[in-house]
Amino acid sequence: MTTFLMGNDYEGLGCIKITKGDYDAKTTNDSLRNRFYYSTKWPNQITTPAIEVPPYVTTPSDQWLYRPVGANKDTAEMLRSSSPAGAVYHFRGKQRWPFIRYDMPVMDVLERTNGRYQQVRMTDRPFGDEYGSAGVRGGFVGTGGLGAWHRRRELFINPDYATLDYSPQEIFARATEDRSLVVWNLPGNNTPLDGPTTTPSPTGKMAVQLNNTTARVAKPGFDVRTATPAQLAFDTSGRPLSVVATGDIALPAGVTTHDVGFVIPADCFIEMSCYDDNAAIFYPMKLTGNNDGYGVEYWTDGTTLKFNNTQRACRARFIAFAVDPLGPSSGTNSPLRVFVSGGEVVTQLLRPGAAATPRFSDIILDTRRPVIQILADGYFDVPDHTGSWGTPTETVVNYDAAGFFPYVKYMTVHGSGLEQEVRVPRVNRRYQNSLSTGGLSGDGSYCQYSGSTARFYTAKGRPRYTYYNDSTGITHRYDEKPIVGIRWFVLGIPNP
């Protein structure tokens, strides 16, 4: 059960709020954030991310491809560079996604094979093949390392675009694999969130604009008719990021099924991380000591989420978001939709012009679904690693997630100025001389967190790769842009 308000609250401010249970949406104090499924009064809002699914290409016949059709290298939103080994996709962020407000945003790169996400895996990687020293094992890699958002690239002197890479080893090994790029409206570097820090006077200002052509709401004290994107709680290009399902479940070997209760789109965006200690949650995953790491694939099937654990037993912490890449539907449905489902009165705000049966892409708010909140965020400089080989450097941050299901996200920051880039976190255990003792690589990182503390582990200054052959012996390769900082967020979903 939830309570829905569209109008003035206890402070006399025009807003939209959804409270859980029997809490009165009009009178519940804003400071009691775990009682809210949503509030347009939150200063910083997470909106639905942009999702790109570039087409898989094995051996392209063209060296360069520009999109949209008719564009050239200077005007294209998307560029693909090709070689016999595969393809590299380049997206110019400011042109492709003009609603993304940050120059260096948070992003994810998701892998799927035959419709199943392959994101959480620890796999043996033969770096010897990469460097010509055949047969020598270089390490074990889990998640990340698949692309970066660059401020500038020498090939195209044009700032702020993301690069989605397809490496030769993975093209030839998994020919049915897709990679999806997810771009969040959050800063991935040391840029503060742009939400207002004060509330202007609301006198004479319109806060809510909802009709057959427009659906948008301003943050407190701003006029919806003149508000900038940062002063809007939402509009049709930046819908609140709602949650379909969330959980923390045991994954024994084999297939585990989690029933959501309604049909989930096949391309629903799902975040998931695995760990093997009930008292310690990890993101993106825990560094494992050898190749008996995690091997979980996951997908949607009607009303269920399914997880196939191909390696050791562990736990999964997941969030399924009400986002898919299908895009909006077309119709004449009213923006305000009220119906009864399972004995519960449901209120939906829809994108104007949605079909009678709306898609996830059409639904702005649904009173059954909580919206992700930002509980805490920050940035810290990553120190050089000075400890022993097997012990990474630990950096601790504190916050309060009481009453919430927390989920940590972060990006690693590399370089500075025009050469800066942000990367998806990479968990990489490096070995040298076949399978001798190793540790976290110089570009690797991971996080252990709870309801109050996050511990980030790094090894800045260590080699990124190490390999061995008879002619040169042990050779180290270092990151061309060493990690300099971590931009982190604690996201929260109110507990039932």
Q: Given this model, what pLDDT does residue 335 score? A: 86
DSSP 479-495: -SS-EEEEEEEEEEEE-
pLDDT at 431 (0 to 100) = 67
Region of residue 245 (left: phi > 0; alpha: psi -120 to 50; beta: else): beta
Query: Average pLDDT, whole number, for the chain?
Result: 84
Q: How confident is the model at residue 162 (pLDDT cuts 50, 70, 90)?
A: low
CA distances for 333 relative to 211, 348, 350, 356, 365, angstroms: 11, 11, 8, 6, 15
| Confidence band of 375 (pLDDT split at 50, 70, 90) | very high
Q: Are 264 and 303 in contact (CB under 8 A)?
A: yes
Give residue limits of the domains in the chain.
2-42+190-233, 50-187, 378-494
Distance set, CA 429 to CA 144, 280, 291 (Å): 13, 19, 9
Residue 474, pLDDT above cutoff 70: yes
Helix (H, G, I), strand (E, B) or coil at 227: coil
Query: Does pLDDT of 117 surpass 50?
Result: yes
pLDDT band at 145 (very low <50, low <70, confident <90, very high): low
* Res. 471: pLDDT tops 80: no
Question: What is the share, in percent, of the chain residues with pLDDT greater than 90?
Answer: 45
Spatial neighbors of 388 by CB under 8 A, at least 6 apart, are none
User: Which long-range contacts link 447-450 to residues 24+ away (Cβ below 8 Å)?
Assistant: 447/282, 447/283, 447/408, 447/410, 447/488, 448/280, 448/281, 448/282, 448/286, 449/281, 449/282, 449/283, 449/406, 449/408, 449/490, 450/280, 450/281, 450/406
The arithmetic mean of pLDDT across residues 484-490, rounded, is: 98
What is the mean pLDDT of the segment spanning 235-256? 91
> Cα(359)–Cα(323) distance, rounded to whole angstroms?
9
Residue 172: pLDDT band by 50, 70, 90 thresholds?
very low
Which tens digit of pLDDT belongs to each residue from 14-48? 999 999 999 999 999 999 999 999 999 999 999 99
Rounded (5°) CA angle 373-320-231: 30
Each residue's pLDDT tens digit, 399-431: 999 999 999 999 999 998 888 999 999 888 876
pLDDT confidence band for 336 (50 / 70 / 90): confident
